[in-house]
Amino acid sequence: MKDVVPHYIAKIEGHGSLRIDFTSDIAELGIHEGERLFEPMMLGRDYLDATFITQRICGVCPTAHCMASIKALEYAMDVEVSETTRNLRKLMLCGQMIQSHALHLFFLVLPDYINADSALDLVDAAPDKFQMALNLKKIGDKIVEVVGGRPVHPITPTVGGFSQVPSEEELERLGRELELTLKDGVEAVQLFASLEYPEMERASEYLSIMADNKYGFYGGLINSTSGDVFEIDEYKTNIEETVKPYSTAKRGERDGHGIMVGALARMNLHSSYLMPMAAKELKKSRIRFPSYNSFHNNFAQAVETLHFIEEAIERIEDTLSDGLNDYTPDYDVASGVGHGAVEAPRGTLYYTYGLDSKGKLRECNIITPTVQNLTNIESDAEEVLHMTDGKSRKHREHLLEMLIRAYDPCITCSVH
């Protein structure tokens, strides 16, 4: 194997590199972070510890880990939650999507398209765009902080509901701030619609959570562009974890081939359920879904940013209409096995817990979005190599780095 990207790939979360065999155009995405062993670490712990520990898997998407973890525990103990709890959890996930997408799009992706080394170059070159990025990141952080107690690693969500909920005044104020941020969301979609994405087409199998006539992200069934639909508790039989000798991260595959999860997968499957303003901006753009260009994952993230601002406003309105009550129901600790899944920014996140009668964890399994995307990244890299045959090494290297960044991989999550 000969290195084509010999150094760690810049502007991604974690440490990874790409190796290419030019004789056969085979790509290997190496993950160079040590296994963190969160799953065995959880065994024997009290179930109440689980949510706080596993969200430390990631500092970028801890809210998604928190929610998937709680849902698995509630499934195991047959705990029903109130509509207030569901709305507030969805609101937190909206914040998670906005804060993560804004960080990735403006600070890690955009420099590739404006011939800049860093997003900090925007400060002088395009201060309005830099301010847009800050506004979006700020409102995403604010959502999670208002409901979860702090913007990173939330502390109020718990099995059955919340230990504390925001006041009506706090939610009303947050709603007003979200209304003001809609303009930034619209301009973000327009900005990323205007970029010249590399031309590429390679159909993959795309999977995401589906909900009844909605843009699913909190719960429901898993559906695929292959036509398959399965329950969340069937994910282990539908997604096989494999190991490669050159990587410390597992791979999630279906029937021996790669899959793609994340914003592009969600848009390919469910773009018809976007909120009104997001749907309007998508229609005005020249990009159509389904798209089989993985670089369009970034445009999909921009559309989702606007969508989740709108979704957050709706969740606040519904919460205020229903009233802030029944958020800490009583339940009995019981033995059982439970499964939970939510859409994290990078794709579907799965959790399984097994509990004994005292609430001690005896089983833990987690499949993160990046684990599911790794094989597909390699297949896309091989397609880019075919497309760029005869081009300079510098051109090919840059395009391959852009491709990997387009997926928004979280290496730290992949080696959980």
CA dist., res. 118 & res. 120, Å (int): 5
Q: Which domains are present in the chain?
A: 2-414 (1.10.645.10)
Check residue 247 and give its pLDDT: 77
- Render pLDDT for 147-201 as a digit per residue (tens, 0 to 9): 999 999 999 999 999 999 999 999 999 999 999 999 999 999 999 999 999 999 9
Query: Tokens in use for 64?
Result: 């998604």
Residue 26 has phi, psi (to 5 degrees) of -100, 130
Confidence of residue 23 (pLDDT cuts 50, 70, 90): low
Supply 69's token pair.
Answer: 């973890």
Residue 81, pLDDT > 90, answer: yes
Residue 291: pLDDT band by 50, 70, 90 thresholds?
very high
pTM: 0.95
pLDDT for res 416: 64
In tens, the pLDDT along 356-377 reads 999 999 999 999 999 999 999 9
Give 24's pLDDT tier (boundaries 50, 70, 90). Answer: low
State which of 118-132, 167-181, 382-396 shows the largest mean pLDDT. Answer: 167-181
